[in-house]
Amino acid sequence: MAAESPDAMLDLDTWAFPDPHSVAEFDALALPVTWERVVGVEAGEHGLARLRASYPFTEFPVPGGTLPTAGLTWVGVHPQHRRRGLLTAMIDEHLLHCRERGEPLSALFAAETAIYGRFGYGKAADDLRLTVPRGAALRDVPGAEAHTVRIEHADRARHGELVARLHRAPGIPATPGGLNRPGWATRETDALWDSYWSDPKSFRTGSRESLRVAVVERDGEPRGYATFRRTLDWQMTGPRGTVHAGDVVALDAAAARALWGVLLDLDLMATTEPFLLATDDAITSLLVDPRAASPRVADNVWVRVVDVAAALAGRAYQADVDVVLGLTDTRLPDNAGSWRLRAEAFGAATCERTDADPDVTLDVRELGAAYLGGASLAALAGAGLVGERTPGALARASAAFGWPVAPACGWVF
């Protein structure tokens, strides 16, 4: 594909993911891609046969730190060229490019969850979807009353720096003790921020308004924000509107309580529907009646370990561990074999190849699922996906791989 060919890229995307908008309407949106990471294959006069891209996350949050990670995205095959091995070729190329760039991880959001497991991606996080009734009772949090909330049209010139700074703040959103939230990727490129702030009228689905923002402050200092759009719906019984919340970010529990108190009590609205919340988000504990919010869990970010040694040594562990992992990896065979992982709780870790017999056996898919601390190795073993060779090793490894804060990414990339 010729460099920077947005029309060809958008045309294939509308073939792979049917969309009511024309390519011309898409042109009104800022494309979030990094063009040197976009790879397409042309099919003569038919345009592109396949396409993939990735985002350069240089500081992708993992337990206790960050690692360079390729955010795989814009993966598509034209219907004319399906079932010819094009997706397999794309993923193999992508993994090789990850290694060339020194990215030990790849991450993605799966359009179809049955696809990516066979390429070694594991479901590493879940997110929570809620439909919260207006005026839902919230538990009190000391200090919440000291905050004020201002509600404004979202404007990049006014809010861009604030949103970027708070979104990447340590411990966001409102995690205890400053612990980072694994998977909480921030938009690291100008193109991604351009896309975030672009708001053409043709793409406001379901009669939603333009983007709004609520900023929570204490003594004039911003302590959190939420982006949202409202949909007004008049029924015979009265207004039944919906608040569609995007980012909901707060620096601490008091700020979170003040922010949610406003989002759940906007005039003419019947419900508030936040998107992509972590499963342990503050709202899950603040709601007096969480059942009334109709909680649903969906898969969030998926992770693929590309470089075993760098990935396992590059994260922290919540318990001391010294274990030999026996790994299988059909797509990257040099990842396979025995790896000795040693780490101190919340301290340094090392991972080296060894000839020793494994204590725990697993496929790279299960390693990716457990990598961010969201999936338990013991639970995976209960499903027959992880094996134990040394008694007690599975329990120790499972405790170490966990993390006190649930992983999640707050936006689909």
Give tens-digit pLDDT for 236-256: 999 999 999 999 999 999 999
3-class secondary-structure state, position 143: coil
Give tens-digit pLDDT for 29-83: 788 999 999 999 888 777 899 999 999 999 999 999 999 999 999 999 998 898 8
Encoded tokens for 262: 């406003």
Quote the pLDDT of residue 302: 98
3-class secondary-structure state, position 370: helix
Say yes or no to pLDDT of 27 above 70: no
Quote the pLDDT of residue 120: 98
Give tens-digit pLDDT for 258-302: 999 999 999 999 999 999 999 999 999 999 999 999 999 999 999
Average pLDDT over residues 17-40: 86
Average pLDDT over residues 344-363: 97
CA–CA gap between residue 376 and residue 401 (Å, rounded)? 8
The residue ranking higher by pLDDT, 24 or 265, is: 265
Single-letter code of the amino acid located at 154: A
Instruction: Please report how many Cα atoms fall inside a 13 Å half-sphere around the Cα of residue 387, on the Cβ side.
Output: 9
Cβ burial of 407 (10 Å; 0-12, 13-18, 19+) is buried
Phi, psi dihedrals of residue 10, rounded to the nearest 5°: -70, -35
Query: Identical fold at 128-298 and 307-401?
Result: no
Domain 6-103 part of CATH 3.40.630.30: yes
Lowest mean pLDDT among 97-111, 175-189, 303-317: 175-189
Average pLDDT over residues 119-145: 98
Quote the pLDDT of residue 29: 76
Which sequence spans correspond to the domains of the chain? 6-103, 128-298, 307-401
Lowest mean pLDDT among 177-181, 263-267, 369-373: 177-181
CA–CA gap between residue 316 and residue 64 (Å, rounded)? 5
The answer to whether the beta carbons of residues 310 and 67 sit under 8 Å apart is yes
Nearest to 117 by CA among 374, 401, 363: 363
Percent of the chain at pLDDT above 90?
A: 84
Say yes or no to pLDDT of 1 above 60: no
Say yes or no to pLDDT of 376 above 60: yes
CATH number of 128-298: 3.40.630.30
Quote the pLDDT of residue 23: 85
Architecture of 307-401 per CATH?
2-Layer Sandwich (3.30)
Quote the pLDDT of residue 21: 80
Quote the pLDDT of residue 206: 61
